[in-house]
C-alpha cells in the first residue's frame, strides 16, 4: 500500500475535489499529492463517488491493485474513448499473430537452409544473407547463432540424419 500523504498536504483527490483531506480519507493512500493527473483521469471516467464506493467494497490489501487498474483503464479510455485498454490489447494481439507468422516463415526458411535448399519465399527488407555461415568448421549449431528451433524439428528432422545439419 502507498504511504499516506495526510501529514503535510491534501491528497490529489481532495485537492481536486476542493475539500479538506481527513485522516480517514479513502483516497489519501492511493492518490498522493504529487500525482494529481492520476486522480483527475480516474474521476473523469469513473467519478469520485463510484471510486469511493469501490474502494470501500474491496478488501484493504486489494485496494492498491484496484486503483492501479482504474488509473490504467481511465488513461486508456481518455486516449481511446470507444475501446479503452481493450483496443490496446487487440492491437497487441494482432501484432503477436503477425510476428508468430513471421517467425514460422523464418523457421521454415531456416529448415530449408539447413537442408541445403534455396529458400522460395522472400520477405520485405531486401535480400537474405547466408545466416548459417559458421566459418566452414561445422562446429556447433543453433544456440550460438541465436536461432529459435522448436523441439519438434529435432525429433522430426526434415533433412534426414537425426540432426538439422546431418550430425554432431
What are the pLDDT digits (tens) for 2-31?
444 445 789 999 999 999 999 999 999 999
Decide: 15 and 37 in contact? Cβ < 8 Å: no
Decide: 41 and 8 in contact? Cβ < 8 Å: no
What are the pLDDT digits (tens) for 30-42?
999 999 999 999 9
* Helices (H), ranges, the chain: 12-17, 36-46, 48-57, 63-79, 85-114, 151-155
CA distance 36 to 12: 5
Tell whether the model's pLDDT for residue 112 goes beyond 70.
yes
Distances (CA, A) of 65 to 26, 58, 83: 14, 10, 21
Reported pTM: 0.55
- Average pLDDT in the chain: 78
pLDDT bin (cut points 50, 70, 90) of residue 136 is very low
CA distance 22 to 31: 14
CA distance 30 to 32: 6
Amino acid at each position: 500500500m502507498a504511504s499516506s500523504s495526510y501529514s503535510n498536504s491534501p491528497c490529489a483527490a481532495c485537492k481536486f475535489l476542493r475539500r479538506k483531506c481527513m485522516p480517514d480519507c479513502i483516497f489519501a493512500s492511493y492518490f498522493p499529492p504529487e500525482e494529481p493527473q492520476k486522480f483527475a483521469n480516474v474521476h473523469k471516467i469513473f467519478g469520485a463517488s463510484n471510486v469511493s464506493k469501490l474502494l470501500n467494497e474491496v478488501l484493504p490489501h486489494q485496494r492498491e491493485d484496484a486503483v492501479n487498474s482504474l488509473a490504467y483503464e481511465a488513461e486508456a479510455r481518455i486516449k481511446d474513448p470507444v475501446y479503452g485498454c481493450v483496443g490496446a490489447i487487440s492491437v497487441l494481439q494482432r501484432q503477436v499473430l503477425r510476428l508468430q507468422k513471421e517467425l514460422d516463415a523464418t523457421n521454415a526458411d531456416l529448415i530449408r537452409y539447413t537442408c541445403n535448399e534455396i529458400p522460395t519465399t522472400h520477405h520485405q527488407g531486401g535480400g537474405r544473407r547466408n545466416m548459417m555461415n559458421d566459418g566452414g568448421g561445422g562446429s556447433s549449431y543453433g544456440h550460438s547463432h541465436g536461432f529459435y528451433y522448436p523441439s519438434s524439428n529435432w525429433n522430426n528432422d526434415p533433412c534426414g540424419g537425426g540432426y538439422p545439419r546431418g550430425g554432431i
